[in-house]
Chains A and B, each alone.
Chain A
């Protein structure tokens, strides 16, 4: 039975590989929950998984058994011509139905549980999808930011989700399964992070050219840190001291095309609403749909030619379309990185 031995060896290798792959760092792993919502979802998954494993072993076992036991043994095999068995038919209709009914009970319970507003003080966050970044607004706190959502750990948060253009989907697998952002509607997703930490999220509904480049992060903080962050966000941008490179950058920024799309509170003409609010850009660790780390090199590349490094990006190329010089871009990058 060499074939069986090969199959066995293959299986062992497969399991080994599986274990090896599971030990790596998986920031989007839905089965590594970091909050009560994802936990309930994972629990249900495991429940059904083990039932499915049992059914799988039973049915595939019967199949393999039948293949071995009832293989043709001679040329004139003439098996009895059995046409059916009513009792068996009833049995294998009713048993799976009962099994499914059993699974349905916790499922329905969890559906209603996750849809209801959690007890306690819920923080409201409005998230608006854009091709291909996330606008984040805290309506009760007056904060407006993008791509990085700060929340207090251990407190339920209501994510009120809508979209400005096409359908997107909000997913932070370690905190909660996805919920869609649909233009003209608002969906609410309740999430909660048990511990402080950074949890990665991404868009999970195909939304065009840069669907794969639309990520975000949820940063859960102790409530004192969160409050400090809110206070920082509420301040206006400070003007850089005159004569510095940053001041030069502000000059180009506030007289160029940038202000048509971007807001920097404290800079009079910069009130554009199309792109992300940049008032505290430098307080964020990533930008452009959270796909680039925020540093001088990346920001310079972005200002030089955004659509080249992020397909379809709405921001025009600084060099090709806006006619900026490399010096101007250097100054603007310095200015933007000063917006803490």
Chain B
């Protein structure tokens, strides 16, 4: 059970949050021009790294704000949480995403 640092509310228990997979996947524009494969790539395909991972989190039972987190998928260490509009925090030294 993690402690998650909501960028709007601060440290809260994981039960207040939900996690929604990989972050920084914008919806394509002009979708009519995409092939089925390209569309499928957007809808279905996600990286599944063993290591640092940028994820979308929602403070669903709190302020209901979406934000991003940089988390290590093995150690569950949160390197950072950041607002949607914030620049991406760097991956720690020696890590790979």
A binds B: no
A interface residues, Cβ below 8 angstroms from B: none
